[in-house]
Amino acid sequence: MIPVNWVVALAAIIFAIGAIGVMTRRNPLIMFMSAEMMWNAAALAFIAFARQWHSMSGQVMAFLIVGTAAAEVGIGLAIIVTVYHRRHRLDIDEISGMKG
């Protein structure tokens, strides 16, 4: 049986990769994907802790995270496609016109 700590460590690594991805990448699609990775890391951590505590609520939370993430992807991709149609470029620094 894999110790819970290892799973949590894996979740933390995935979370860190996602966070770094959001902060360093400039393509909105990749940034969005990295943010979704952070969500999935949280879901993984919830499942690991649910096994540690022998309670179902963590697993419930993981299901809700997956469901909400699906809804968010639907909305997010629609917005990204709209922006792409207007600009035909996807670079967050070029899209960014508002300053100050």
Partner 1 sequence: MSSMHLMLPEYLLAGFVLLTLVGNMVVGDRVRVASWLGLIGLLSSFVVSASIWSVSLKPAVLLNGGVVVDNYSLLVNLFVLLAGIGAILLGWGETRWGQEFVALVLVSVLGMMILGLAGNTIVLFLGIEVLSLPLYILAASEHTAAGGEAGLKYLLLGAFSSGILLFGLALLYGALGSLSFINFASLTNVGTPMMWAGLSLTLVGIFFKLGIVPFHMWVPDVYEGSPSAVTQLMAFGTKVGAAAILLRFLDFGFYLSPQWWGPALGYLAVLTMIVGNLLALPQTDLKRLLGYSGIGHAGFLLVGVATHSLDGARAMLFYLLPYGFAVLGAFAVLIFVAGNQDSVTLSDLKGLASRRPLMAAFFIIVMLSFAGIPLTGGFVGKFYLLQAALFANQPGLAIGLVVGTLLGLGAYLRPVQALFSPADESRPVPQWTVGGAIVLAVAIIGTIGLGVYPTPIVHMVNQSANFFWLH
Site string for partner 1, 47-76 (x = CB under 8 A): -xx--xx-x-xx-xx--xx--x--xx--xx
Number of H helices, E strands in the chain: 4, 0
Distance of CA 61 to the CA centre of its chain: 15
**Which DSSP symbol is given to 56?**
S
Instruction: Answer whether 60's CB lies under 8 Å from 46's CB.
Output: no
Question: Contacts with partner 1 in 1-30 (CB under 8 A)?
Answer: 8, 11, 15, 18-19, 22, 28
Q: Which residues contact 88 (CB under 8 A, 6 or more apart)?
A: none
Nearer to partner 1, 1 or 53 (CB): 53
Where on the chain is the footprint of partner 1 (CB under 8 A)? Answer: 8, 11, 15, 18-19, 22, 28, 31-32, 35-39, 41-43, 45-46, 48-49, 52-53, 55, 57-58, 60-61, 64-65, 68, 71-72, 75-76, 78-80, 82-83, 86-87, 92, 95-98, 100
